[in-house]
Amino acid sequence: MNAFESYLHTFLFSAYPYICMVVFLMGSLARYDRDQYTWKSDSSQLLRTGVLRWGSNMFHVGILFLFFGHFAGLLTPHWVYEPFITPANKQLVAITAGGIAGFICFIGLSLLIYRRIFDPRIRLTSHRTDLAILIILWVQLTLGLITLPYSLSHADGSVMLVLSDWAQRVFTFRVGDAAGLIPLAWPYKVHLVLGMTIFLLFPFSRLVHVWSGFATVFYLFRPRQVVRSRRLNLPAGHNQPRQPGV
């Protein structure tokens, strides 16, 4: 590795994660504060359901599984799972579960891209970033799938340990020069950089709806709604229509 490559490596894996994290958090906050009417998933279901039904559902099932899988897989400290599962088996679970979810997501995402390009109604009403974000996610997913055979060739789980060690160091502000990542194959590195870039672009796209998607959990705990019928002049909780003569 020459001096430039070494500098680039340190920048991409030691400084860039924090640039992306700050833009992701502060950008989301600024967008929510300044531009709330654009804070939405921008559903196109009213324009055409068709392919969307399969595409969107398969994409979301896959991506949510992958999101939580990456989160738990990368950030759970080694000593927490060590008594229950070996790194080799953990990696095997990750490859199998991630491979299945990735495949479902891949089909869904490909359908969404097809629809956005070839359905004239959807194409005409799309913003440039709508297609761009789908393509970026598709490339990221494809890179993730390309890493699977590489991971299978390190069946001892060593690569997974290097990657989770780096991710945990980033989150605990101990990343250093990220030298551990240097020997990794290129698809891992490009997958990491593009993954961080998605967080960077997040506040400037329709991806902001993911915050709201996760916030829907609070729906389960919201206070119940009190509905009073003015027409029948009944007290709260008695809004069944009166039987004649009662």
Q: Which stretch binds ligand HEM (CB under 6 A): 22-30, 83-91, 130-138, 227-235?
A: 130-138
Residue 141 is a binding residue for ligand HEM (CB under 6 A): no
Distances (CA, A) of 130 to 35, 229, 245: 18, 43, 59
When binding is defined by CB under 6 A, the residue of 16, 24, 39, 44 that contacts ligand HEM is 44
Residues in the chain: 246
Residue 209 interacts with ligand HEM (CB under 6 A)? yes
Start-to-end Cα distance in the chain: 88
Q: Is 60 or 169 the residue whose CB approaches ligand HEM more closely?
A: 60
In the complex, the smallest distance separating the C-beta of residue 135 from ligand HEM, rounded to whole angstroms, is: 10
- Find how far residue 157's CA is from the centre of its chain: 24
Contact 8, 177 (CB under 8 A): no
Instruction: Give the position of tokens 């956005």.
Output: 116
Cα dist. 209→75, 77, 83, 117, 182 in Å? 24, 29, 38, 22, 35
- Asked if 210 interacts with ligand HEM (CB under 6 A), we say yes
For ligand HEM, the nearest residue by Cβ is: 213
**# residues near ligand HEM by CB under 6 A:** 21
**Does residue 116 belong to the site contacting ligand HEM (CB under 6 A)?**
yes
Residues that bind ligand HEM (CB under 6 A): 41, 43-45, 52, 56, 60, 63-64, 67, 112, 116, 130, 133-134, 207, 209-210, 213-214, 216
